[in-house]
Structure 1
């Protein structure tokens, strides 16, 4: 069935004004100021978007789809991602990864979970690897990226963190080189997603790799860059050299009190300091654990990251920090799509995947979500649920 979205104001994410959008199966087949359907001899579902804004589907490119954590022992292992946790938040594309625990959660299970989410209606990609080095892959970095469709890069490799395996510059260089060549041979991004902890070394290893080898700075995406003020300031310097930086939207009040910065505020500061908007992304760290440790390093409590935090920070960037809609949207649409070479994602354009979010013009609340041409959420209610959500 064809779907016709009428009378909405389109941000593709660039502002396009009032447009009608025709969806055929899972693709965007036509965009025009007005599309007339009276003479079409086919069934068409019309979605009225009068007084609504139309955005590309959101990309959450750092999610622990299997769950994560365990820093407070086995009972603190966080649950797997459910379909509606993503879709009701406007997320239509996910990139999954392992976390601290690569023993009880592994690449086989990660791939199976990704395939399950795809069957339920999400677009799902993966990073191969783990916190620890040597990486826990299915086969090898090159084989995983080249031979497994869902795998587009390496992650989440941990540095500057008491939970990491303290990888060396040489080890990180070899990981990046393998990922880069595999990406070139397969036409994928071959990106390396890097977890940055609270340690004093911050981005030192990544800077050394880029200064002492032929690996370009854009081969890495350091995440959690808003973890503390000192790291955030280093992230600004790194991004101004051309590096990509990722801010984490899931947080807790305790972390904010300890110096972690809200993404909306962080985006404003980065832009004001001359960081290019294309170099900044937001991710949720969804289903990952948000552990708190006391002054002696002992685990004290745990909360769970959620994809629902992703767009909330974009709304705050627009409403509180007065960042233009088209700029704020890029951090969860076109920027991650470009960084990860997801060529059919991140924009509402002819021929791209029909991943569309329709929001209230005044409140910016998500009202309708279309993923790969299927209406997943209508009037704020999930109409397609995960297999075990029914």
Structure 2
């Protein structure tokens, strides 16, 4: 057992000074003071100068790499487990992107199981940018129902020159498959939507919602901070009950072309009275960050970083005056709730012991605990990995 003494706890809502006790992989006690008769089996951690938060939940990571829009030499590398741990990410969702030919779902699952063996909690989406969807079994429904890691489908691309130019009927059909499979399997059945920079923005989603019985919250559109116009469309989408996600990985060139930094987008959405339960940030880690010219030709490409999630959370607090509990919720409780991962993203009795300790002033990461195991101390990853 591990006992965190006198920590300033954000669950992510502020609980004040508390002692937090974990046993094995679970949180088993949160009290003003916990005193145990024997210390023989207990490691006590003095957290009096630290903030204790849930481990971060990153809802979109290209764990097997991505990219390739500039040819084979531009395929981005796989994510290393250390990248997540150093960024305070203890739970993540792995996805395919543009390339579902040389990046397979089988490889995605194998990588997910490897990261899980190395200490993280990892889930996946079946499918990819394109329609018809790639699957492992004979359908989206079978993948979600019969393969434990699959919790939804995505990223399905819309408003993007790289997409399959889906029709309303096609998107409605694949969404209904994911939704029903999720209901039957007790999973989110969410449809992750990659929104590109074409003028259509969220038009296709709005048409499906208007013309079908599919609830708006079945969709989880990301990259909503890509432009001011898309951000405004996203805020309207959220005010109708939808959830929206802001991407934290970016470059100076992309921002110069009109992208709103995720931390600023979060602040603006909150100021527009969008509830934090409908707002998240994700890293898009290890994805390509391409810049195309007006003819769709690739002119620059860099790689997304999982560490950007923590940095954006800090920027939201430090630069944009977002209350810490709300900035934390955007990378913990909100994505966990949207993805139906109720054992993640909060500090509460009975949930997984995924814990970050942050320095109170800087909000830099002091320590990370993943499912009760000490994963990071003084900037050094404590898990042993073969490569």
- Above 0.5 in TM-score? yes
Q: Distance in 2 between matches of 1:94 and 1:148?
A: 17
Which structure 1 residue ranges, 4+ long, deviate > 3 Å from structure 2?
Answer: none
User: Which position in structure 1 is the counterpart of 2:183?
Assistant: 184
Q: Distance in 2 between matches of 1:291 and 1:357?
A: 32
User: Which position in structure 2 is the counterpart of 1:134?
Assistant: 132
User: Which position in structure 2 is the counterpart of 1:100?
Assistant: 98
Q: CA deviation at 1:244?
A: 0.5
Q: Distance in 1 between matches of 2:384 and 2:214?
A: 43
Could you say what secondary structure the match of 2:343 adopts? coil
User: Which position in structure 1 is the counterpart of 2:210?
Assistant: 211
Q: Distance in 1 between matches of 2:326 and 2:151?
A: 26
Q: Deviations for 1:306-351, whole angstroms, at most 9, x for unmatched residues? A: 1100011111111111111111111110001110000100101000
| Mapping 1:3-42, distance limit 5 Å | 3-37=2-36, 39-40=37-38, 42=40
Q: CA deviation at 1:294?
A: 2.2
Q: Distance in 2 between matches of 1:218 and 1:163?
A: 25
Q: Distance in 1 between matches of 2:295 and 2:349?
A: 55
Q: Distance in 2 between matches of 1:40 and 1:29?
A: 16
The alignment of Structure 1 onto Structure 2 pairs a total of residues equal to 386
Q: Distance in 2 between matches of 1:8 and 1:143?
A: 44
| Mapping 1:70-219, distance limit 5 Å | 70-139=68-137, 140-219=139-218
Q: CA deviation at 1:41?
A: 6.0
User: Which position in structure 1 is the counterpart of 2:358?
Assistant: 359
Bigger shift: 287-296 or 12-21? 287-296
Q: CA deviation at 1:224?
A: 0.3
Q: Deviations for 1:158-193, whole angstroms, at most 9, x for unmatched residues? A: 011011110111100001100000000000000000
Instruction: Confirm or deny: 8 A CA contact 1:82 1:386 kept in the other structure.
Output: no
| Mapping 1:226-305, distance limit 5 Å | 226-305=225-304
Structure 1's unaligned 5+ residue stretches are none
Q: Distance in 2 between matches of 1:373 and 1:276?
A: 31
Q: CA deviation at 1:264?
A: 1.0
Q: CA deviation at 1:115?
A: 0.5
Q: CA deviation at 1:72?
A: 1.0
User: Which position in structure 1 is the counterpart of 2:58?
Assistant: 60
Q: Deviations for 1:227-259, whole angstroms, at most 9, x for unmatched residues? A: 111111111111111111000000010110111
Q: Deviations for 1:50-93, whole angstroms, at most 9, x for unmatched residues? A: 21000000000100000000011111111111111000100000
Calculate the TM-score normalised by the size of structure 2: 0.98
Could you say what secondary structure the match of 1:62 adopts? strand
